[in-house]
Chain A
Amino acid sequence: MFLNQFLFFAAILFSIGVYGVLTRKNGVLVLLSIELILNAVNINLIAFGAYHQDLSGQVFALFIIAVAAAEVGVGLAIVLLIYRNRRSIDVSEADLLKG
């Protein structure tokens, strides 16, 4: 069982996702980076599930897929709202609130 490869792959995917969240200015791309993080988690869970011969890892991954869909639905709705009012989805321009 080559568990290492899966874990490295997931770790790299996770790091790319975190990097994207921290540096991207486009709201949709930030959401996309968050999806990368969630998929890294799914890979981890499935790899560990296979390693332990235990199904709950896969069940967990299914729940994450379902919840991620809901999150992205709400997220895109909010980004669309911002676009309607501002004609821009640049998250760095959303700076009315600070202090």
Chain B
Amino acid sequence: MIDASLALVAESEFVRPAIDWHAAAPELILLAWGALVTVIDLIWLERSRRFMPSLAGLGFLAALVPVVTLWASDDSVRTMFDGAYVVDKYSLVLKALFLVTGYIIVLISTNYMADGDYYDSEYYQLIAASVLGMLVMTSARDLISIFVAIELVSIPAYLMAAWRKRDLKSNEAGLKYMLMGVFASGILLYGMSLLYGVTGETKLTGIAEQLNSDGRPLLSLAVIFTVIGFGFKVSAVPFHTWAPDTYEGAPTPLTAFLAVASKAAGFVALLSVVLVALPKQSDVVEPLLWILAAVTMTVGNLLAMRQTNIVRMLAYSGVAQAGYMLAPLAVYSIGELNSVAIGGSVASSIVSYLLIYAATNLGAFAVVIAVARKTRSGEIVSYGGLFKYAPGLTVLMTIFLISFAGVPPVGAWLGKLQLFLTVLESQTVAGVVLAVIMAINSVLAAYYYFFIAKQMWFMPVANQDSAPVVIPAPLKLALLLTVALTLAGGLGAFTGIANL
């Protein structure tokens, strides 16, 4: 059998596939830049440490240029390698999201990672490698490249989570993240192998062509394993247990990276697989994702309420928001789905929520990092009386919290509204019930967001120490960028971009 297939390959002459260099430019620039900073670090060692963050940050901005030119070009959908690699509006929006996120992460890491006498140059190279994986992920339309992209995102992140080598908490965060991440990859791969077995294709469009609407048992098994694997990656309940522990123990900038970029990458892959490969399998996928979405948002919010550490609270709030983002996927059969390019109201609503979610989360983590510079603590009580000595940070944090809670006109309310409307668009009982669960959860979530606001504005100063917080310039820039994006998002700046 294998001999026969090998002979088949030997007979056909090899033809180099055409490569659209413009479409691949963002990935290539980031790859080259990552290699460049690695070499510079190896040559100059300690001397390059001062300018390494700025140099790495420039790479993300440089890779953003071809994304913008691709957006402006007339070719709206570019496909390479027989449709295994697709650059469409969906992937370009997400590439921009990941590059900007990468840049902001570099800004907030700049004075943080070297703290405690840790060598930090490799950190920026690992961030670049991880973001490269995310860029590939947005365009990957083939099981093999999706798998490789997921691993390229995750493996550097395992290392970065355990960055503080002598800190037991950081060790533990790295260990838990690595074990759960690799285990999840294994389960995901088992699902993918069954998907390949049922169809004989690894390309997502090919899988969709091979599958007809009748659900065979093996196919259901493949879908269940695949969705569980992605459930780990996007920290959906009950596969979320690693997230709060890893978030608390890892260095806080890396936590922001995991909470925003890594989670978004998981969503991107889930969206590609569900929307492109399984458009007709909604009878298997939808109930599964419905349960995941409902349980994730409810459990995430309930557990967030009882947290005393702000990073853990943000972790559980991230779990809850993953639940909101899963909700449109529970009714994904509403759209017309048989094309190479990803689009439609389901993808649009999730992408526009991802954009605003990224801006708000990065901002909240930047405030947490700024405050921790003085208080050295992540406990919520240590935010008492923040307004008295850091009014600027208090106002910013309040904006981010209002955005999380979904109160107009700031931040995430618009994204949340779109998610709601998409779920209601289905006009089924399941859709309406899910929308009601979302509404109840939004109210629940407001409780713990405003609890922090109350601490900052009305409580007495913790430890009687009201010396001002010193914020380094890169962190200031990150705060300004995120608050501007959050406010712009609330006023509808992203809805046009994310309308796929």
Interfacial residues, chain A to chain B (CB-CB below 8 A)? 1, 7, 10, 14, 17-18, 21, 27, 30-31, 34, 37-38, 40-41, 44-45, 47-60, 63-64, 67, 70-71, 74-75, 77-79, 81-82, 85-86, 91, 94-99
Assembled-state Cα–Cα distance A79/B165 (Å): 12
Stretch at the interface among B30-38, B243-251, B283-291: B243-251
Bound together, the chains give a CA A85 to CA B172 distance in angstroms of 11
User: Quick check: A40 and B2 within 8 Å, CB to CB?
Assistant: no
Query: Does B337 count as interface, using CB distance less than 8 angstroms?
Result: no
Which of B162, B169, B192, B194 contacts A96, CB < 8 Å? B169
Name the one of A41, A75, A96 contacting B189, with C-beta atoms under 8 angstroms: A41
**By the criterion CB–CB under 8 Å, are A30 and B189 in contact?**
no
Residue of A at shortest CB range from B203? Answer: A56
A58 to B147, CA, bound (A): 15
29 contacts between A and B (CB under 8 A): A21-B179, A37-B186, A41-B189, A41-B190, A44-B194, A47-B197, A48-B193, A48-B196, A49-B5, A49-B196, A52-B197, A54-B200, A55-B5, A57-B202, A60-B143, A60-B196, A63-B148, A71-B182, A74-B158, A74-B178, A75-B179, A78-B175, A81-B162, A81-B174, A82-B175, A85-B166, A97-B245, A97-B249, A98-B245
Closest residue of A by beta carbon distance from B150 = A67
Within 8 A of A (CB), among B128-163: 143-144, 147-148, 151, 155, 158-159, 162
Q: Does B499 sit within 8 A of A, measured CB to CB?
A: no
- State whether B5 touches A78 (Cβ < 8 A): no
Chain A interface secondary structure, helix, strand, loop or mixed? Answer: helix
Interface of B is mostly: helix
CA distance A11 to B186 in the complex (A): 13
Q: Does B1 contact A (CB under 8 A)?
A: yes
Q: Tell me the count of chain B residues lying within 8 A, CB to CB, of chain A.
A: 50
B144 in complex: contacting residue of A30, A34, A44, A59, CB < 8 Å: A59
Known contacts A96-B249, A97-B169; decide if A41 and B175 are in contact (CB<8 Å).
no
Q: Are A51 and B9 in contact (CB under 8 A)?
A: no
Structural contact, B175 and A27, CB atoms closer than 8 A: yes
**CB pair B148 A99 closer than 8 Å:** no
Q: Is the CB of A14 within 8 A of B175?
A: no
Complex CA gap A14/B201 in Å reads: 22
CA distance A91 to B171 in the complex (A): 11
The residue of chain A having its C-beta at the shortest distance from the C-beta of B177 within the complex is A78
A sample of 18 more A-B contacts (CB under 8 A), given A52-B197, A75-B178, is: A31-B182, A41-B189, A51-B200, A55-B9, A56-B201, A58-B2, A60-B143, A60-B196, A63-B144, A67-B147, A67-B151, A78-B175, A82-B175, A91-B175, A94-B171, A96-B249, A97-B169, A97-B172
* B168 x A85 contact (CB < 8 A): yes
Could you say which of A47, A48, A86 contacts B168, with CB atoms under 8 Å apart? A86
Q: Which of A21, A44, A67, A94 contacts B183 (CB 8 A)?
A: A21
Q: How far is the CB of A6 from chain B (nearest CB, A)?
A: 10
Chain B residue at smallest Cβ distance from A1:
B1
A37 touches B193 (CB 8 A): no
Is there contact, CB below 8 Å, between A38 and B8? no
Q: Does residue B312 face the partner (Cβ distance < 8 Å to A)? A: yes
User: Are A50 and B245 in contact, with the CB atoms below 8 A?
Assistant: no
Which of B155, B182, B196, B312 has most A Cβ within 10 Å?
Answer: B182
Instruction: For residue A48, give the distance in angstroms from its CB to the closest CB of chain B.
Output: 4
Alpha-carbon distance A56/B192, docked complex (angstroms): 13
**Partner among A14, A48, A70 whose Cβ is within 8 Å of the Cβ of B190:** A14
- B49 interface residue per 8 A CB criterion: no
Is B197 in contact with A48, judged by CB distance below 8 angstroms? yes
The minimal Cβ–Cβ distance linking A4 to chain B, given in whole angstroms, is: 12
Contacts of A37 in B (CB 8 A): 183, 186-187, 189-190
Q: Which residues on A sit within 8 Å (CB–CB) of B426?
A: none
- Please give, as numbers and ranges, the residues of chain A lying within 8 Å of B349 by CB-CB distance: none
Within 8 A of A (CB), among B312-341: 312
Contacts of A55 in B (CB 8 A): 5-6, 9
List residues of chain A with CB within 8 A of the CB of B9.
Answer: 55
In angstroms, Cα B244 to Cα A7, docked, is: 36
Is B2 touching A50 in the complex (CB atoms < 8 A)? yes
Contacts of A48 in B (CB 8 A): 193, 196-197, 200
- When C-beta atoms are compared, the residue in chain B nearest to A75 turns out to be B178
Once the chains bind, are A70 and B151 in contact (CB under 8 Å)? yes
B residues in contact with A59, CB < 8 Å: 144
- Within 8 Å CB of B307, what residues of A? 99
Task: Give Cα A74–Cα B202 distance, bound, in whole angstroms.
Answer: 27
5 shortest interchain CB distances as A-B pairs: A52-B200, A37-B186, A48-B197, A44-B193, A97-B245
Complex interface: chain A residues within 8 A of B101 (CB): none
Q: Is B4 an interface residue when CB atoms closer than 8 A count as contact?
A: yes
